[in-house]
Chain A
Amino acid sequence: MKKHLDKDKESNKERSGAQCVIDGLTSAGCEVLFGYPGGAVLDIFNCLYDAPFQFVLSRHEQGAVHMADGFARATGKTGCCLVTSGPGATNAVTGLATANMDGIPMVCISGQVPSAMIGNDAFQEADVVGITRPVTKHNFLVRSVEELPSVIAQAFHIASSGKPGPVVVDIPKDIQRQMTEATIPEAIEMRAYKPHVDFKKEDVHALAALINSSERPVLYVGGGAIAGDASAELLELAHKANIPVCTTLMGIGAFPEDDALALSMLGMHGAVAANYAVDKCDLLISAGARFDDRVTGKISEFAKNAKVVHIDIDRSAIGKSVRCDLGVEGYLKPVLESLIPMVDKADHKEWVDQTQRWKDRFPFAYPGGDDTIMPQFVIEQICAVSGGKATVVTDVGQNQMWAAQHFNYTRPRSFITSGGLGTMGFGLPAAIGAKFACPNDLVVCVTGDGGVQMNFQELVVAVEHKTPVVTVILNNGYLGMVRQWQEMFYDHRYSGVTLGQSKRQRMERIDEGREYLPNFIMLAEAHGACAKRIFKPEEVAPTLKEAFESGKSWVIECIVEPEANVFPMIPPGQAVEAMINRSV
C-alpha cells in the first residue's frame, strides 16, 4: 500500500483529493489530527498513513472533536479533526457547537458520499453542511477536486481569524479519489470575508476619556482576552489606572487571580466582590466578553450605575444584549496597546479599597465537612499540590463552578471549560487534547460522576498514547447542578438526578460500604488507568500527589458531600440583590 502511494507521488505533480487534504493540513501546521475512520474517508486515511503529523484515534467522534477543541484551547492553535460521513459527522455536531459557542478555532474534515449519490439517501449519508451550518462559523461542501486545496486553506483562515470558530469541510468520496494539479494558494483572497478590522482611533480616545474621568471603573474580561492574547496589556492597563478586574468563566486566566486588583469571576456563581463591583461601578469596560445571561442576570439591573463600553472583534456582540455607551470594534490587543498611553495614572484608592473590603468579607467559602470530603476542598488541594501550575479542564455543572471558584488561576489557557454550550462529557476528551498540546504540563480533569460517564471511553486514548491525564471525579451520587436547582427552586423534588444508588433513600449519604454503580475504579482499570476511591479529607492531598508524580493516567474518585451546593448564586434572571450566599 505504501509503495503504491509513493509511486503516485513520483509519477507527476498530480495529487489525489485525499492527498490534498493531508497536504493542506500539513501546510496549515496541523500537529495532531484527532478522528475516527469510516467508509467515506478511507482514501484520506490511506494518505494519512504517510502523513507527517500524528493521528489520534478517539473512541467516539464527539471525543475526537472535544480533543481537537482541548488542543486548541490549550495552545491557541487551530484544532484539527477528521470524521466520516453520516453518523460520524452527526456525532461530531455537539463538539462543533461547543467550539462554536466559545469561539475556538477548529477545522473538521468530514467525508461525504460520492457527489452523484448526494440527495439519494445513500448509505451513511447526512446533509452535513445543512446540519452543521448553525453550529459552525462556516462550512464547505467541496464540489470539485480543483477547489479542494484552496478550500482547506480558506477553512483554516476562517477558523483562526476574526472571532475564531469551527469550520467544517465536507468532502465527497469521489473527490477524494480524483486527481488534480491544483496547489495550495499562497495568499488567501476571500471577497466577502475581511476579518481584519482597524479599530477607530476616536473610539479609543473616547474610551480613554471615559476611564480618565471615571471614579469607579471595572474591567470585565472575557474569553476574547485569551483568544486575542491580550493578558499582558490588560495587566498593564489595570495597574496603570488601578482598575479592578473581574473575568467571565471563559476569561479565567486572562488576569492573574493572585493580583491585588483581581476580583475573580462574576455572574451567577461569581464572587460577591465581582458582582458588587459591577453593580456599583460607574464605568464597566467589557474586554472580549459577550454579556452572556449567566453573567448579566436581569439585564435592566446589570451595571445599572455605569457607562458600559464594549470592546469586541465581533461587531454583532457589541450592544447585543446590554446597552452600550461606547462600542470599540477591534482586536483587543492593539486596542489596549493604543489605549494604555492615553490613560492617566490613577489610584482610585477609595474604590479599590472598597472592592478589597468586599473581597476580604466575602471570599469563596464553603461549610466544613467534618470527615466528609467537601468538593471545594478537592479543588483547593489540586491547586495546592500542583503549586497552582496544573492546567485544569472541567466538565459541566457543579464541578465546573467549584473548579472556577477555588483554584487560583494565574496564566491564560490554564482553565479549560465548555462555557457557552455547557457540554457535559467535554472534560475528559478535552483534557486529553490539552495534554497532546502541552505534553509537559500537568493536566487535571475535574469532572462529576455524571459528565465523566458521557465520554469515559476516551480514557483509553490517554493511556495508549502515554499522555497522562489525572481525572478527578467529584462523586456526589447526583447530577449535582440539576439537583441543586431542584432543591432550591423545585421544593427538593429530586427528579431524574440520582446516579448509581437506585435503592438509596433521598438525602441519604453515601457510605464506604455501599456498592457503587458504575464502579469507577474497575472501569478506570479496565481502560488501563490507575485508580483510587477516597472518602476522607486527609486522603485527598496524598492521592493527588501520588497521581501527579506518577506520570500515568489516573482516575481519583472522591466520594464527596452529596448535597454540597455552589454558592454564591444569583438565581437566573435576577439581579445582584437576589444573591444567595449560604457558603458558611
Chain B
Amino acid sequence: MNNIINCLVENEPGVLARIVSMISGRGYNIQTLNVGPTQDNNVSKMTMVVPGDEHVIEQVVHQLSKQINVIEVVNMTNQRHMNRELILVRVASEDHASRIEIVDLATLFDAKVIAVQEDSVTLQMVGNQERICDFLRLLKPYHVIDISRSGVIAVCRESVDAGFEN
C-alpha cells in the first residue's frame, strides 16, 4: 500500500541528499517526492509517497526521524488528511472526434485544457491520488505523449504539524 509521509527538515544545504541517500541505502522505494518551503524560512517540507507494508513504513519513519536534520515525520496515511497532485499531460488527438472525447473526459475530471496543437491536447489536472489514478486510467486508450507529475502533497485536516515553532 502507498503511504504519504510528510517530513519537516531543516532548510540547509545537503538535507535532500541526506534523506534520499538514506532511503536508497536502506533499500526503500519512493514513488514521488516533493520538496518545498514552509511558513518558516528555516524549515522545508518533504512529502514522499512510499509503497510498503506497515513494518516497512514504520522503519522508514524511524530512520527518517533519526536523521539529525529532520524535525518531524508524520505518516499522513494514519491521519485525517487531504492530498493533491498536479499533473500535466499531453495527449495525441489527430482528429476532431478524439479531441472532443478527450475534452469531454477532462471536463468530467475538472481537468483544464491548457494548450491545443494540431495533433495534441495538453491537460492540467489537480486531484487526490485516487482521482489522478482514475483519470490516467481512462486516458489510456488515447495516446499519451508526455506526462509530468508534481508528486503528492498533503496536509492534515485538523491539528497543525507540531514541528513548527509558535
Query: Interface residues, chain A, CB within 8 Å of chain B?
Result: 129-130, 133-134, 137-138, 141, 143, 158, 190-193, 314-316, 319-320
Interface flags for B28-65 (1: CB within 8 Å of A; 0: not) read: 00000000000000100000000000010011001101
Residues in A neighbouring B71, C-beta threshold 8 A: 191-192
A141–B17 CA distance with the chains assembled, in angstroms: 13
Q: Known A129-B14, A133-B18, A320-B59; judge A193-B65 contact (CB<8 A).
A: no
Main secondary structure of the interface of B (DSSP, over half): helix
Residues in B neighbouring A315, C-beta threshold 8 A: 62, 65-66
Chain B residues bordering chain A, tally (CB within 8 A): 21
Nearest to B69 among chain A residues (CB) is A192
Interface flags for B1-23 (1: CB within 8 Å of A; 0: not) read: 00000000110011001100110
A129–B13 CA distance with the chains assembled, in angstroms: 11
Measured CB to CB, the closest approach of chain A to B5, in angstroms, equals 15
The reply to whether B21 and A134 contact each other, CB–CB distance below 8 Å, is yes
A140–B145 CA distance with the chains assembled, in angstroms: 43
Apart from A141-B13, A192-B70, 13 more pairs, CB < 8 Å: A130-B17, A133-B17, A134-B22, A134-B25, A138-B68, A158-B68, A191-B42, A192-B69, A192-B71, A315-B62, A315-B66, A316-B59, A316-B63
The reply to whether A316 and B70 contact each other, CB–CB distance below 8 Å, is no
The reply to whether A141 and B66 contact each other, CB–CB distance below 8 Å, is no
Residues in B neighbouring A143, C-beta threshold 8 A: 13
Can you list 23 pairs linking A and B with CB atoms under 8 Å apart? A130-B17, A130-B21, A133-B17, A134-B21, A134-B22, A134-B25, A137-B68, A138-B68, A141-B13, A141-B14, A143-B13, A190-B68, A192-B9, A192-B68, A192-B70, A193-B68, A193-B69, A315-B62, A315-B65, A316-B63, A316-B66, A319-B55, A320-B59
Q: Known A137-B68, A316-B62; judge A192-B10 contact (CB<8 A).
A: yes
Residues in A neighbouring B18, C-beta threshold 8 A: 133
A568–B132 CA distance with the chains assembled, in angstroms: 58
Residues in B neighbouring A319, C-beta threshold 8 A: 55, 58
A174–B42 CA distance with the chains assembled, in angstroms: 26
Measured CB to CB, the closest approach of chain A to B62, in angstroms, equals 4
The reply to whether B21 and A133 contact each other, CB–CB distance below 8 Å, is yes
Residues in B neighbouring A193, C-beta threshold 8 A: 68-69
Residues in B neighbouring A133, C-beta threshold 8 A: 17-18, 21
Nearest to A140 among chain B residues (CB) is B14
A316–B69 CA distance with the chains assembled, in angstroms: 16
Measured CB to CB, the closest approach of chain B to A174, in angstroms, equals 17
Nearest to A315 among chain B residues (CB) is B62
